[in-house]
Amino acid sequence: MAILVTGSTGTIGTQVLTFLDGQGGDVRALTRSPEKAQFRAGVTAVKGDLSDIDSVRAALDGISTLFLLAPNAADELTQAMLTLNAAREAGVTGIVYLSVFKGEAYADVPHFASKMTVERMIDAYDLPATILRPAYFIQNDLRQKSALLDGGFYGMPVGAKGVSMVDVRDIGEAAAKELLRREHAGAPLPREIYELVGPDALTGPELAALWSNTLGKPIRYAGDDLEGLEQRLKAFGPAWLAYDMKLMMRRYQENGAVATTADVARLAELLGHPPRSYRDFATAAAAGWAKD
């Protein structure tokens, strides 16, 4: 039997494959363009797309454990639910599903609500799944390079409530550990839920101060301008997605996304080490930028 990783060429899928590397077993990676894929030795590229259910059915042949990452697409919910149904029909005995932190609270944010509906299906049909709920990705802030270095400001309007941002390496490592645990179990295991969070809940002003210390120059917080954020995001993607991201940031500003001590401790137990910190990320990023 085998593990199938969806979203295999993206930020998280790449991390999952990295942490599966060297663990043995049959690992397959779903991709629209197998001929262009450059995976590590031992990973088999499989042609498919979650928006094409026939290709999903074909890719699930011989699969025992599935990593399901549905893309930020207008039909994300449909893609995820059809894939789960196909997995049930194919006899998949282990699932690791990438959901979102605070999804149950942010009912007005479309991609959060979509993931919560998928979680409802997992619960309703007692699927043998681990649900991973990551917070905002730390590495998203690599896009702040120009603002920080050239503009002297931190530009993501996360507000003053605090967000427990998570390192994408912790997401990949947690997913790989749960995939391997379910793959090696030989039988379906009970459901588990992990909040994937960082050790610190950081506000916009705190992030600016952290970058000031890291870069050795004054960095200011650019403020809570949500309209400006939406317009900037529309330059890089569809309008619906830009609005969706704006709604998420609005909830960050209104309510925050702060993990509990228990959330952090449970993730540390799964990983076998404390979750990686934003400060460590910033230090490494600054060192890399200095070499450019």
Domain ranges of the chain: 2-135+168-196+262-271
pLDDT reported for residue 203? 98
pLDDT reported for residue 130? 98
Q: Are 170 and 139 in contact (CB under 8 A)?
A: no
pLDDT reported for residue 129? 98
Residue range 1-31, pLDDT digits in tens = 899 999 999 999 999 999 999 898 899 999 9
Q: Are 48 and 56 in contact (CB under 8 A)?
A: yes
Among the residues of the chain, which ranges form H helices?
Answer: 11-20, 53-59, 76-90, 110-124, 145-146, 168-185, 204-215, 226-234, 239-255, 261-271, 278-291
Q: Would you tell me how many other CB atoms lie within 10 Å of the CB of residue 75?
A: 13
| 18: three-class secondary structure by DSSP | helix
Q: In the 8-state DSSP scheme, what is residue 277?
A: P
User: What architecture is the 2-135+168-196+262-271 domain classified under in CATH?
Assistant: 3-Layer(aba) Sandwich (3.40)
pLDDT reported for residue 282? 98
Burial track 150-189 (b if 16+ CB lie within 10 A, e otherwise)? eebbbbbbbbebbbbbbbbbbbbbbbbbbbbbbbeeeeee
Q: Are 5 and 20 in contact (CB under 8 A)?
A: yes
pLDDT reported for residue 1? 83
Query: Mean pLDDT across the stretch 229-258?
Result: 97
Q: List, in order, residues 6 or more apart from 90 with CB less than 8 Å away.
A: 57, 60, 61, 63
Residue range 52-89, pLDDT digits in tens = 999 999 999 999 999 999 999 999 999 999 999 999 99
Query: Mean pLDDT across the stretch 48-52?
Result: 97
Q: Would you tell me how many other CB atoms lie within 10 Å of the CB of residue 98?
A: 25
Q: Is the pLDDT of residue 40 over 90?
A: no
Pairwise CA distance, residues 52 & 49, whole Å: 5
Residue range 117-171, pLDDT digits in tens = 999 999 999 999 999 999 999 999 999 999 999 999 999 999 999 999 999 999 9
pLDDT band at residue 275, thresholds of 50, 70 and 90? very high
Residue range 172-194, pLDDT digits in tens = 999 999 999 999 997 999 999 99
- Is the entire prediction scored with pTM above 0.95? yes
Q: Are 279 and 214 in contact (CB under 8 A)?
A: yes
Q: Which residues pair with 96 in a beta bridge?
A: 67, 130
Query: Mean pLDDT across the stretch 81-107?
Result: 97
